[in-house]
Amino acid sequence: MLKVNIQCLAHEDSIFYINELCRNTLELIQFPEERKVLYAIHEVVINSIEATEKRYGKNHKQSMTVAIKTCKEEVEVIVGDAAGGFEECDNKDFSTSDLFSERGRGFLFIKHFMDEVLFENKEDGLFYVILKKRLQTEEKANEQLSCRNCN
């Protein structure tokens, strides 16, 4: 198992470092769907940065965290910030986002690329997005293919 924890300013300048550190981590373990996981992480990170700037202003000193936990079968990523999260995170329905609006499309992509997306709103204002991607074994892929063929 490999665990990598990143803590940095929730600022646009941090995006490059987070992207590169996450890419290097996933490359090290040779995770097959690396690009999709990286895409999802990037989307959550820009949401966190935007939400933090909205809450604290452009010149804030708030930090954010990105934790990657990998094992043979799964990658789990937890992105945390102090921006307060959603008011009703459990009921947030991203599938009905207006696709022609400039924003709101990010979570649609995230949900498509990841197996599980969870939100945790803590009482102290900390907000976490948890992403999980399981390794697609050949056996599972064949099962899905045969199901699709049956339908």
Partner 1 sequence: MNNYHVEIAIDHLETHSKLFFKGYLIYNTITKVKKILQSVENGVGHYILDMNEVIHIDSTGFGAFVNFAKDLIDEATKIVIVVKDPLIRELFEISQFHLIFPIVETHQEALQLLNEGYQPPLSIHEY
Using CB under 8 A as the criterion, which residues of the chain lie in contact with partner 1 when the complex forms? 12-13, 15-16, 35-36, 39, 42-43, 46, 49-50, 99-103, 105-106, 108-109, 112
112 vs 103: CA distance, rounded Å: 16
In angstroms, give the least distance from the CB of 114 to partner 1: 13
Which lies closer to partner 1 via its Cβ, residue 8 or residue 69?
Answer: 8
From its phi and psi, is residue 125 left (phi > 0), alpha (psi between -120 and 50) or beta?
Answer: left
Which lies closer to partner 1 via its Cβ, residue 55 or residue 105?
Answer: 105
In angstroms, give the least distance from the CB of 1 to partner 1: 27
Contact assessment for residue 62 and residue 56, using Cβ atoms and an 8 Å cutoff: yes
Q: Name the one residue in this structure whose structure tokens are 């804030």.
A: 60
Contact assessment for residue 124 and residue 70, using Cβ atoms and an 8 Å cutoff: no
Which lies closer to partner 1 via its Cβ, residue 42 or residue 133?
Answer: 42
